[in-house]
Structure 1
């Protein structure tokens, strides 16, 4: 059993997930970061497919083999390279324009090592996770696939440890109205980050 969305069409993808990738595309275009982008913890790859229509190349990383099978059948594009691999063992050939990581770090105990990798791969990161202040991790029903949720200050501190400065916050509610708004008052928080100079 998994919490991962095994969507085979865009219609099957939850609206809040689609909106996050649409936000990422807007930010990447606005900042001119449309060369090579990493989609970390990409699942079956629908988000990579969306990104691939706006950037030159997408490097997708996902350890789950079933998700990789769905990617191959439904979400391939010529400018996507899918790596069925452990995120911590992966190394791109060179630094990339941006890293996108949506709804991943709450699933792993090694979130600090993952954020360190993101900082090494790129100077620009867009990342989301459930907001502990709005949806506490241990509130019933407890999600068995999550290790923790993050308060905005906790996520900012975790990112800052690896010189990733949060330039802006966005957030989402859940359910029927998952529109993205500025701030940190939603169930999901999205941090748009730039790596600080050494």
Structure 2
């Protein structure tokens, strides 16, 4: 954004006995300001515009991580090697709130795309003191890593606990009621 040097600034400089005024090469001098500069015989020094380079000491790991997340538009960073090994950096995980959690409970999730972005999704979920209902849009597998919940699929229900693996078929009505704060891994094949 360009700066403007106006008459009031010239009056102020003259009143404070400042004979030299520094501006950058993009500053616009108003006609009245130019007249006052000439009248008061002030010196105007034009300096080149300073580039806005970041100080390397001000660049933190967190700043780089946040920039990369915005560029990649994902909620995680993946380390790759030439053999195709992928490692998701756990420090880079960003969980998003699950909307419509009941009973003042909380729910968060984080999605990952492995392989073809349109076919396989993988993610993590954390739920506490909540219940929610959804219709499965695709076949899904859940692995309960901690805690437990009551899950109803259609008319059937059961308690899923740590270590259990659950298959949810596409287009069924699913209700989950958290019994003990739960964390699970899911895989969805669309």
TM (norm. structure 2) is 0.27
> Which has more radius of gyration?
2
TM (norm. structure 1) is 0.26
